[in-house]
Structure 1
């Protein structure tokens, strides 16, 4: 049995899974976390979708706005054509990553390309007050630009001696992990990372003897590590973080830390939307 670990020290492991969810299916999209439900427990992780075009052939995310948060799209299969109001546009290939810091307001869209399957995750991260009304910024990485350590690709944050090139807020790790059947792997979170969760949509795992498959699980607050065994070839995303110490003040596409910040973000979204309408980009 193959074992992969980044430390030889004994791992103090979290034993408690406090929540499980299989999510809700909306066409090709499975919603696993929303700001109004598990997002309040997992903040700064406030939203997670898993999308798979094999569930429904037509998959397009029309131009829509955000403010006060950052979106991260991890593309597992296929190609997606993208555009955003920072001026970026192009094609994100399989294995690519999109980081969209919406700040004070941005609009973006995406649509699947080609006839093959398009599959991946979109995550929202709540931003701290010093960033939630900043200038929007987008970044698009190819698969070769996403660093890895062992079986883990480091999408956000730092792990081991590897750091993601994405300028995410401090205190957040987000990894994509692939394990072969029978493989064991240990995750030791950085100090202060008491929030932890994982989502597996392909394969089957065990953590502290608990089976996990086709679901998202939330672990009890702790700085202890996690020890995984793959019962099948498995692919999963894993998040850990320092707890976001601010309230979640919600708009339809926005997450802020105060009502005042939400008003400012939504006002800027309306301004951009009005210009897009004048340009004939939206109805």
Structure 2
């Protein structure tokens, strides 16, 4: 059985009127290679005639964003010409690669009518060989994402990338990163076997778990040692889990603002390229 190295509490970092918890990076953990960053927005209810999400046009390079729309919606637009509105239960996967501008805001319908909102955004590193790849974007609605049922249906979820218990994920990715969201009924229990050389990403969105004998509750991230393969996960309440695992890249990581590269020189180049328009132009 794998042991838990440390459990990290998400820090509360509201953005304007958007409730936001940040499990990583915090004062206690910088990253779990190749998982870089997670923001948990909501849950909250927006009134009618609201301003929606505040993430207007901004650049990225050298990394990927995976956005899980648990409730509400996101209207995506980028300088590569991609546009979409993804609703509750959908997922977006954007590979920034060599660089692009994008915005993630709420749809006109959501801003007019309001409603419940809860969103996770996870940043994933790209290895050096893919950092300058061409940008790409895919957004899938809930019914386009493969589902999984375990423990006689008491655990259900979506397989987003890689695979889980022989179910292949929705997104084909540059790297072998496995991601899923799992919903547990109270007392539901599963056992997973994860390669010992893979790092595990285990964030509790809601509820409480006992994992290999240790408690991990909502808004906490569990960091594991690489000393075994088996995970016994039991829900102590109705619970929701963001679960991932991947082999670490073991490369230098230099992150400044929206850019994640291997050296400071590459960061300087990213800022210069952004300022001179090499990451594309924004058209309203």
Name the TM-score class by shorter chain: 0.7 to 0.9
* Cα offsets for 1:217-236 (capped at 9, x unmatched): 21112341211111111111
Q: Partner residue of 2:95? A: 101
Contact 1:70 1:99 in 2 (8 A): yes
Q: Partner residue of 1:228? A: 233
Q: Partner residue of 2:206? A: 202
Query: Equivalents in 1 of 2:141, 2:86: separation in Å?
Result: 7
Runs of at least 5 residues in structure 1 that lack an aligned partner in the other structure:
1-12
Say whether 1:29 aligns with 2:20.
yes
Say whether 1:38 aligns with 2:29.
yes
Shift of 1:53: 5.5
Contact 1:205 1:211 in 2 (8 A): yes
Runs of at least 5 residues in structure 2 that lack an aligned partner in the other structure:
150-155
Q: Partner residue of 2:153? A: none
Q: Partner residue of 1:88? A: 82
Say whether 1:51 aligns with 2:56.
no
Q: How many residues align?
A: 265
TM-score normalised according to structure 1 size: 0.85
Say whether 1:181 aligns with 2:186.
yes
Q: How does 1:1-283 map to 2 (within 5 A)?
A: 13-27=1-15, 28-34=19-25, 38-40=29-31, 42-52=32-42, 54=44, 58-113=52-107, 114=110, 115-150=114-149, 151-190=156-195, 192-193=197-198, 195-214=199-218, 215-272=220-277, 276=281
1:154–1:262 distance in 2 versus 1, CA, 3 Å: same
Contact 1:106 1:272 in 2 (8 A): no
1:244–1:24 distance in 2 versus 1, CA, 3 Å: farther
1:22–1:260 distance in 2 versus 1, CA, 3 Å: closer
Shift of 1:209: 2.4
Query: Equivalents in 2 of 1:36, 1:261: separation in Å?
Result: 26
Contact 1:103 1:135 in 2 (8 A): yes
* Cα offsets for 1:106-158 (capped at 9, x unmatched): 11111234211111210000101111011100111111221122223211222
Shift of 1:36: 8.8
Query: Equivalents in 2 of 1:274, 1:157: separation in Å?
Result: 29
Query: Equivalents in 1 of 2:268, 2:167: separation in Å?
Result: 38
TM-score normalised according to structure 2 size: 0.85
1:62–1:231 distance in 2 versus 1, CA, 3 Å: same
Query: Equivalents in 2 of 1:84, 1:136: separation in Å?
Result: 10
Shift of 1:61: 1.0
Query: Equivalents in 2 of 1:56, 1:78: separation in Å?
Result: 9
